[in-house]
Chains A and B, each alone.
Chain A
Amino acid sequence: MELVESRRFVTPESTSRRDFLKLMVGVLSALVAAAVAVPLIGAIIGPSFRTKKSQWVKAGDISSLAIEQPVNLKFPFKTQDAYVRETVTQDVWVIKHSSSEVTVFSPICPHLGCHYNWHPDGNEFICPCHGSVYALTGKVLGGPAPRPLDTLPWKLEKDQLFVEWETFKVGIPQKIRT
């Protein structure tokens, strides 16, 4: 046995044993590496492709709003971003047509996600970032916007407006939820 182990007396048998040990080291290392790598990759992919659920939220009282005048309604909104829960102030553009009929626009410009403003003198919405212009109906009047303003689902309970808050992919002609 002593001779077999010694470097000067390497026999074919000891060579095959050593090769086998090398193979075993490789296989064990590969198995551990795989058992570690799969979870690590899984943890990175983790939340990357999760979609956010839309949420119904009370936007405010519309009884006092003027007809066919866009109003920026601000309301508290409980958000959950991973482990961060907080109440933020969110806004929507509301155009009241009658006591039972409104249009609700997401405040996010469908071009590249800026927040646009209402310009009463021109009767149009203008996005300050890249100059997209929209009509009161949300129709694109000019600028780079690829689609009209995004409407949000709404419902009225007495005069209380509830809005389903959701966001859409920007920069494309289709209205697709993020």
Chain B
Amino acid sequence: MPSKIIRWINDRWPLDAVIRWSLEEEMPGGASYAYVFGSAVLLIFLLQVITGLWQLLYFVPTIDRGYGSLNYLRTEIPFGWLIHGLHYWGASAMIVLVGLHISQVYIWGAYKNPRQLTWLIGVGNLLLTLALGFSGPVLPWDERGYWEAEVATSSAGTVPLLGTLARNLLQGGPLLGQMTLSRFFFLHVAILPAILILFIVLHLVAFRKFGISGPWDEAKRKRTGFFWPDQVFQDAAVVTSVFVVLVGLAAYMRAPFSGPLDTLQTFYVPKPEWYFLFFYQTLKAFHGVLEPIGTIGIPLIVTLLFVFLPFYDPSPERNPGRRPVAMICFFIFIAWVITMAFVGYYSNPAASIAGNSGPATAGIQTVSSSPGDPSAQILTAAKRGSQLVNSLGCIACHRVNGRGGTLGPELTGAILKGKSRPWLITQIRNPKAHFPNSIMPAFSSLTNQQVNDVVDFLLNISQGGKVSPAPITKAPPPTPKPAGTAPGAALSAAVVTGSQGPPGPASFVIGNVELGEYLFKQNCEQCHGVGGKDKVPNPGSTDGTVPPLNPIDSTLSNKNAQTFVNNIDPYIQHGSIPAGLNPVLHMLPFGDSKSLTQQMITNVEAYVLHLNGVDRAQLIHPGMEPHLFFWLVVIAFGVVLGGFWFWKGGAR
């Protein structure tokens, strides 16, 4: 019956002929593990296509939901971690295998006559693979993807004459945004794969036409072997091994959660994927007018060197021993790529450490240039400022008119004397500009109006004014809550909720632990101690110390990451006043005061959970535990390969 069906098909479509054409081939020199890389690239590309298609079920390419939808796939869809992990690591594997394939072809001299066109198409495949490897990481539009897009479009912008045109076409407008993401998405999931599939077919047709070039040694070429099944078995063994390694990487080395995009996080160091690090590092050597040499010139020259290789090296000699120049060039190229990649990996651009948000001096004149009586204007502004000094939490650390903390200097007339308005604005916006070791948080997100109001208040003090801040107990205004309804209402005496509300937008996003750690050091450590462990004294509070965060209060902690975040988020958003007669330190309302963005709060929360042994990106519906799945795969393949070796031994 099956043979009848096959015959029926063969009468109407050349099934047997196609199979014979693709499998039956005599190989000069026989099968070899040196030839597996082409097949391996092909099959890993197939894996990329399948895992890529499946990600489309859940991922949406929009700037506001891209990262969230990807994380939904990764944590809440059965085997989403594996599908994304295989795609993420598969991209690296494909680049490695393409590199090995092209190196093998180069060393064997397999690009020479009559295979020039096979080589040319192959170079096209290399470029397409790199383009896919570049456009993919942009798609989640997270902290990493955004900067990758920024660098790509800015590089395009350095092209002489056509730069602006190229950049705007790539961006889909004058600025990075939704249109940019849509274009990268369009390229990554439709155009590039379609062209790559076409090129792969052309490459295979050319390959089949001339077969493998085989060993360069004539004597070795006399012995022939078969593509099927000898070479196919070796291909299958290698591809299978690569697959098992990819599953292992997906299970044990999760792709990073780089955190939601926040252009205010200037301490984030954007770096490309490892396979572009050599280029990234090379670019740094070119400044100013020379920049196009790095962004366009070098890639163009290297590409042209690849493309025209069979034409400027036409000699039929294939033995690498007799091609010293070719071999020296090869090793110089490899050494350049590897060295630059390592330098790039360990480089730490100085700009990243400054954490400089830039002082906002615009709008300084708004108050004094207002119409009406200037002094009355300033007085009302100073009153608003005095309320802000309370609500922003300044008095948690600074003593003002006899009230407040002692962590920072008391804001008296003496200490403020002679300080100009721009100096004070910079001090509030970016304290490190004046005192590099300052632990004062940078209130970089306040409006100019707010900063000016606070500065008016401070100037008023320095001139001996008597505007006293609003009483400490009135700000932030406590809202009575029915017992047991607010998250974290059942707290220990250590903390009493201040103006608590529901968790903010930050709590539903998966943050980045490393960025959170940096932010924690900048903003939280002075009160909660290094790593959240110290017991910093808080005189006047019932507990006498600031509640430590590592371990955190057991009523806040939870094994479920979302519940945990929901418990701590209101404190970070809205602040709180510790129980006690007159606590010196308050929890600042980092969200309400905008001194941290929601994205930053997301990252801090990921870090606080991390301190308490809870993974913010914990798997909610894994399908199967990643480690268990990996070992099941290993055992299944182990049994099969073990049986193979057993049989081989028995056959001897």
Chain-A contact segment, one of B72-80, B461-469, B585-593: B72-80
Looking at chain A's contact residues, is the secondary structure mostly helix, strand, loop, or mixed? helix
B224 adjacent to A35 (CB under 8 Å): no
Cβ of B230 < 8 Å from any Cβ of A?
yes
Residue of A nearest to B47 (CB): A36
A40 adjacent to B237 (CB under 8 Å): no
Q: In residues 38-82 of chain A, which contact B (Cβ within 8 Å)?
A: 38-40, 42-47, 82
A28 adjacent to B78 (CB under 8 Å): no
Cα-based distance from A22 to B508 in the complex (angstroms): 51
B78 adjacent to A45 (CB under 8 Å): yes
B365 to chain A, nearest CB (A): 40
Residue of A nearest to B636 (CB): A31
Cβ of B543 < 8 Å from any Cβ of A?
no
- What does the 1/0 interface line of B49-78 toward A look like (CB < 8 Å)? 010001001100000010011011100111
Question: Quick one: which of A24, A32, A46, A84 contacts B233, CB cutoff 8 A?
Answer: A24
Chain-B contact segment, one of A1-9, A114-122, A166-174: A1-9
Cβ of A99 < 8 Å from any Cβ of B?
no
Q: Do A7 and B636 contact each other (CB < 8 Å), given the known contacts A43-B83, A83-B72?
A: no
Residues from chain B with a CB closer than 8 A to the CB of A45 are 78
A43 adjacent to B77 (CB under 8 Å): yes
Cβ of B651 < 8 Å from any Cβ of A?
yes
B77 adjacent to A25 (CB under 8 Å): no
Cα-based distance from A17 to B650 in the complex (angstroms): 12
Residues from chain B with a CB closer than 8 A to the CB of A25 are 229, 232-233, 236
Q: Do A83 and B623 contact each other (CB < 8 Å), given the known contacts A21-B233, A28-B640, A40-B54?
A: no
Residues from chain A with a CB closer than 8 A to the CB of B637 are 28, 31
Cα-based distance from A21 to B224 in the complex (angstroms): 17
A36 to chain B, nearest CB (A): 7
Cα-based distance from A101 to B69 in the complex (angstroms): 43
Residues from chain A with a CB closer than 8 A to the CB of B77 are 43, 46-47
Residues from chain A with a CB closer than 8 A to the CB of B76 are 47, 82
B35 to chain A, nearest CB (A): 15
Question: Quick one: which of A18, A27, A39 contacts B640, CB cutoff 8 A?
Answer: A27
Cα-based distance from A6 to B240 in the complex (angstroms): 28
B83 adjacent to A39 (CB under 8 Å): yes
Q: Do A85 and B508 contact each other (CB < 8 Å), given the known contacts A24-B644, A28-B640, A43-B57?
A: yes
Question: Quick one: which of A5, A31, A32, A85 contacts B30, CB cutoff 8 A?
Answer: A5
Residues from chain B with a CB closer than 8 A to the CB of A39 are 78-79, 82-83, 623
A31 adjacent to B223 (CB under 8 Å): no
A29 adjacent to B623 (CB under 8 Å): no
B503 to chain A, nearest CB (A): 11
Question: Quick one: which of B54, B636, B651 contacts A35, CB cutoff 8 A?
Answer: B636
Q: Do A28 and B508 contact each other (CB < 8 Å), given the known contacts A42-B78, A43-B78?
A: no
A interface residues, tally (CB under 8 Å): 31
Q: In residues 621-652 of chain B, which contact A (Cβ within 8 Å)?
A: 621, 623, 633, 636-637, 640, 644, 647, 651
Residues from chain B with a CB closer than 8 A to the CB of A18 are 226, 229-230
B79 adjacent to A42 (CB under 8 Å): yes
A43 adjacent to B229 (CB under 8 Å): no
Question: Quick one: which of B71, B239, B243, B640 contacts A83, CB cutoff 8 A?
Answer: B71
Cβ of B225 < 8 Å from any Cβ of A?
yes
B621 adjacent to A46 (CB under 8 Å): yes
B80 adjacent to A35 (CB under 8 Å): no
B229 adjacent to A22 (CB under 8 Å): yes
B50 adjacent to A6 (CB under 8 Å): no
Q: Do A36 and B50 contact each other (CB < 8 Å), given the known contacts A21-B229, A45-B78, A82-B72?
A: yes
Residues from chain A with a CB closer than 8 A to the CB of B651 are 17
Q: Do A31 and B240 contact each other (CB < 8 Å), given the known contacts A42-B79, A43-B623, A47-B76?
A: yes
Cβ of B26 < 8 Å from any Cβ of A?
yes
Q: In residues 600-639 of chain B, which contact A (Cβ within 8 Å)?
A: 621, 623, 633, 636-637
A68 to chain B, nearest CB (A): 30
Residues from chain B with a CB closer than 8 A to the CB of A20 are 647
Cβ of B247 < 8 Å from any Cβ of A?
yes
Residues from chain B with a CB closer than 8 A to the CB of A24 are 233, 236-237, 640, 644
Residues from chain B with a CB closer than 8 A to the CB of A2 are 222-223
Instruction: Kindly name the residue among B228, B240, B633 whose own CB sees the greatest number of chain A CB atoms within 10 A.
Output: B240
Residues from chain A with a CB closer than 8 A to the CB of B72 are 82-83
Residue of B nearest to A78 (CB): B502
A5 adjacent to B225 (CB under 8 Å): yes
B68 to chain A, nearest CB (A): 4
Cα-based distance from A46 to B78 in the complex (angstroms): 5
Cα-based distance from A29 to B243 in the complex (angstroms): 11
Residues from chain B with a CB closer than 8 A to the CB of A84 are 65
Cα-based distance from A29 to B39 in the complex (angstroms): 13
B65 adjacent to A43 (CB under 8 Å): no
Residues from chain A with a CB closer than 8 A to the CB of B26 are 7
A83 adjacent to B78 (CB under 8 Å): no
Cα-based distance from A28 to B641 in the complex (angstroms): 9
Q: Do A7 and B224 contact each other (CB < 8 Å), given the known contacts A21-B233, A31-B240, A83-B69?
A: yes
Question: Quick one: which of B69, B80, B224, B623 contacts A5, CB cutoff 8 A?
Answer: B224
Residues from chain A with a CB closer than 8 A to the CB of B80 are 43, 46
B65 adjacent to A83 (CB under 8 Å): yes
B508 adjacent to A32 (CB under 8 Å): no
Q: In residues 230-249 of chain B, which contact A (Cβ within 8 Å)?
A: 230, 232-233, 236-237, 239-240, 243, 247
B49 to chain A, nearest CB (A): 12
Cα-based distance from A17 to B239 in the complex (angstroms): 21
Q: In residues 71-96 of chain B, which contact A (Cβ within 8 Å)?
A: 71-73, 76-80, 82-83
Residue of B nearest to A34 (CB): B636
Instruction: Kindly name the residue among A2, A18, A39 whose own CB sees the greatest number of chain B CB atoms within 10 A.
Output: A39
Show 6 residue pairs from A and B whose CB-CB distance is below 8 angstroms, ordered by the A residue. A7-B224, A27-B640, A40-B54, A44-B54, A44-B57, A47-B77
- B residues whose Cβ falls under 8 Å from a Cβ of A: 26, 30, 47, 50, 54, 57-58, 65, 68-69, 71-73, 76-80, 82-83, 222-226, 228-230, 232-233, 236-237, 239-240, 243, 247, 508, 621, 623, 633, 636-637, 640, 644, 647, 651
The 6 closest A-B pairs by CB, nearest first: A39-B79, A42-B78, A83-B72, A21-B229, A83-B68, A21-B233
Known: A28-B236, A40-B79, A45-B78. 4 other contacts (CB 8 A): A22-B228, A35-B247, A35-B633, A44-B54
